[in-house]
Structure 1
Amino acid sequence: MILLAEALPSTESSAIVSLCWIAGAAVLAPVISRLVRGAVPGVVLLLLFGVALGPNALGWAGTEGGVELLSELGLGMLFLLAGYELDPRLLGGRSGRTAWLTWLAGLVFAFGLVSLAASDTDFAARIAVAIAMTSTALGTLLPIVKQDGLLDKPLGRAVLAHGAVGELGPVVAMSVLLTSRNVGASVLVLVLFAVAAGLIGLVPQRMLDRLPAFGRLLDKTNGGADQLPVRGVLLLLLLLMMVADEFDLDVVLGAFAAGLILRRLMAAGHPAVESSLEAIGFGMLIPIFFVVSGMGIDIGAVASEPLLWVLFVAFIALARGLPVWLSERYIPHGANLTSTRERTELALYAATGLPIIVAVTQVATSSGLLTEDLASTLVAAGATTVLIFPFLARLLHRDESQEPSSSAKP
């Protein structure tokens, strides 16, 4: 037995060691976040733990032995849940169209800022940074907005509209602009993927509509050892990630599409699997993704150029937050925020971005568009927005609530 153990490769044991440290980080992150009363969000702590555990610091954990695969599944689950939470109605109507125009204007503005700051940088690299700077972490913001009781208020609805576009827009832009194909070919491939995703989503929808026995089977196997609905959702996720990969698109787009399909299926009144998916996602896979993403951050590279770090944070605020503020002030869409403070709160929330920044930098570094050092600084800037911007927005909200007349300000 000893000789057999010595003969076996050590990859599995190193993977188990890595996962053990990652699991410890996943347990500690929410505990510490609660102890500091949410001053440091759990997702930021996961990244920081990843930095500490990774090869650029202590070196106690790595991505070998399947850890990287689990991280990619975590990325897929993150965007599946993001797509599931996205209400398609937020993307339409006057407010939705305004949000789309605002995001596009912000993307052009971000590209201009990056071009001014680094005119000698490759065009595709500038596009990648611009896409990252115009994202919104709606999944991160939802618990904050819910906790503050803003969902049913104009500010909360505005956060949802701009957040929805700030998630979907960058995902689509990644698939169109960060490829080796020209824009026309990329759009064609994107349309073909949309058709394929629609056909894939149509199969379970038709089965549920035309085969009542299938719906009853899902009801009977919704718990216990079978968990058929959850297994079906995981199959849907992996299938669409595979299709996106076959189309040479980023798997994030496939995961997002799976979430949109899932929302439509569950809206028809079929078995609710949301709590089970959140348990799998936020309980296991998504923390692995963020800790592994933190492992890729070279804190030394970030610390060596603190001005670039601060500059990225400022550029994100300008490129994403400023257009949102201006659109609420000057473009009427029937539900504009009238208070200057509320517009500022909305701008701060809209400029809060991390998950998509991590996804964009992963795609860009794997394609050779960004260096590891630059990607580390950009992710650190995204983590800073999650740490600072919602905090500032909540401070403004508290001040506003203490001044009853503030809502009447122009």
Structure 2
Amino acid sequence: MSTELGRGLTSLFVVALVAALTPVFVGLFGRFRIPQVVVLILGGVVVGPEMLDLADPESIELLANVGLGFLFLLAGYELDLAVFRQRAGKLAVVGWLVTATLAVAVVATLAALGVVRAFVPVALALTTTALGTLLPILRDHNMLRGSFGSYVLAAGAVGEFLPIVAIAIFLGSHGRFIGLISLVAMGVLGLLLSLAPRLGRGGRVARILSEGQHATSQTTLRWTVAMLLLLLVVADNFGLDVVLGAFVAGVVLRRWAPGDGEALDHKLDAIGYGFFIPIFFVSSGMSLDLQSILEAPARLFLLFVLLLVVRGLPTLLVYRSALPWPRRLELTFVVSTALPLLVALSEIGLETGHMLPENAAALVGAGVLSVLVYPAIAVAIDTRLARTRDAVDETRP
């Protein structure tokens, strides 16, 4: 066995062990409502080069990127494009545009003061929402029920999709014009893929796929993974971020998912949340520049607060006619949660030389802190509302 292979297997084992221990740890301290993704990232910090140095993030980089792909595939899969014709989708777009305007003004001020250098990555970071990261938390606490769930999904989807589009245009490796052309090409490819199953509907191939979906051939799952990897490759070759390809794959999958859709949901959750996605989060923790954060913690807390101010507070105004005050407050903390795109933006900023290492570390650290704090507050508000509702129901004759 080569030294490189042995190092990769050792790192993968350590990461898998952290992933396996995480739900046990969360279960033991469940009353503190610690999201699993936070424990995964902190576990990565502990086993990574900054502390125990038990695992090497570079040796599992490919698997981590596939995990990132699965995270955004599942986020795109949750997105029903019809929502953008509804009130929830329209308000989500308006809210994001208000946030983007506010982000430009705030980051321009910080740039003038010399606090940040990477104007575009930091501004985009303040407009993101970690829907893929939030989904397990929202599902576990039954926060997607009723009409409020549609507002949450719409706001979260817009907070992931529009920043991804902006990344493709403004931070693409081949320039803005080529980035825009590449974005259109990705959209056309996604449309063609979504229409492809209709061509073979009712034919022999369709029957083979349907009959093999629960057999050892696992036809639907294999084709789903193949489509995901295809779009990741296309996005990478076009100079786009891989998260765009993954998100498009999720949107396409929702339209053409063949056979037993519910069974496919369970399979995707199993392979994504059971293996690939934890690798991404642990790897993110392993790559975190802890020293830079400790040397300048003020940057982290500034960005942490700005995520709430820039991304969250406009929600209170935009949704004033759609949601009551407690629900708007809950949604404010939900949409202020960000992480995966912050990791991607920090990597892009470092690769282009536009972002200082300490700001990149602070950005990711702020995302970690937002995942730890903001969903917990939203869950507490939701729990209190549920108790109030139950108490009112009990008093009714």
| TM superposition score normalised by structure 1 | 0.88
Measured at CA, do residues 404 and 320 of structure 1 come closer, stay the same or move farther in structure 2, by a change above 3 Å? same
Between the aligned residues of both structures, percent identity stands at: 38
User: 3-state SS of the aligned residue for 1:118?
Assistant: helix
Name which of 358, 365, 378 aligns with 2:343: 358
Name which of 376, 380, 393 aligns with 2:361: 376
Alignment of 1:244-323 (within 5 A): 244-266=235-257, 272-323=263-314
How far, CA to CA, are the matches of 2:385 and 2:270 in structure 1? Answer: 36
1:345 pairs with 2:362: no
Deviation string for 1:113-157 (max 9, x for gaps)? Answer: 122123266998221112122211223333443444443334322
How far, CA to CA, are the matches of 2:71 and 2:386 in structure 1? Answer: 33
The answer to whether the 8 Å contact 1:351/1:389 transfers is yes
The answer to whether the 8 Å contact 2:143/2:382 transfers is no
Structure 2 counterpart of 1:359, which letter?
A
Q: CA RMSD in A?
A: 2.5
Measured at CA, do residues 257 and 403 of structure 1 come closer, stay the same or move farther in structure 2, by a change above 3 Å? closer
1:40 pairs with 2:26: no
Name which of 40, 51, 60 aligns with 2:54: 60
1:243 pairs with 2:243: no
Gaps of 5+ in 2: 393-397
Structure 2 counterpart of 1:375, which letter?
A
1:189 pairs with 2:182: yes
The answer to whether the 8 Å contact 2:111/2:117 transfers is no
User: 3-state SS of the aligned residue for 1:275?
Assistant: helix
The answer to whether the 8 Å contact 2:49/2:56 transfers is yes
Alignment of 1:317-336 (within 5 A): 317-329=308-320, 332=321, 336=322
| TM superposition score normalised by structure 2 | 0.91
Measured at CA, do residues 73 and 180 of structure 1 come closer, stay the same or move farther in structure 2, by a change above 3 Å? closer
CA positional deviation for 1:76: 1.0
1:84 pairs with 2:80: no
Question: How many pairs were matched up?
Answer: 391
User: 3-state SS of the aligned residue for 1:196?
Assistant: helix
CA positional deviation for 1:26: 0.5
Gaps of 5+ in 1: 1-7
The answer to whether the 8 Å contact 2:69/2:228 transfers is yes
CA positional deviation for 1:291: 0.9
Structure 1 counterpart of 2:90, which letter?
R
How far, CA to CA, are the matches of 1:318 and 1:360 in structure 2? Answer: 19
Measured at CA, do residues 181 and 243 of structure 1 come closer, stay the same or move farther in structure 2, by a change above 3 Å? closer
CA positional deviation for 1:269: 6.2
Structure 2 counterpart of 1:26, which letter?
A
Instruction: Tell me what 1:133 maps to.
Output: 126
How far, CA to CA, are the matches of 2:331 and 2:263 in structure 1? Answer: 32
The answer to whether the 8 Å contact 1:240/1:255 transfers is yes
1:50 pairs with 2:44: yes
Deviation string for 1:146-200 (max 9, x for gaps)? Answer: 4444433343222122111112111111111112555444322211221123223
Deviation string for 1:265-290 (max 9, x for gaps)? Answer: 12786684222222111111111111
The answer to whether the 8 Å contact 2:67/2:272 transfers is yes
Name which of 356, 359, 373 aligns with 1:388: 373
Structure 1 counterpart of 2:5, which letter?
E
Measured at CA, do residues 252 and 48 of structure 1 come closer, stay the same or move farther in structure 2, by a change above 3 Å? same
Deviation string for 1:19-52 (max 9, x for gaps)? Answer: 1110110011111112211621110111111111
How far, CA to CA, are the matches of 2:216 and 2:102 in structure 1? Answer: 52
Measured at CA, do residues 367 and 200 of structure 1 come closer, stay the same or move farther in structure 2, by a change above 3 Å? farther
Structure 2 counterpart of 1:244, which letter?
A
The answer to whether the 8 Å contact 1:145/1:156 transfers is no
Deviates more, 1:92-101 or 1:377-386: 92-101
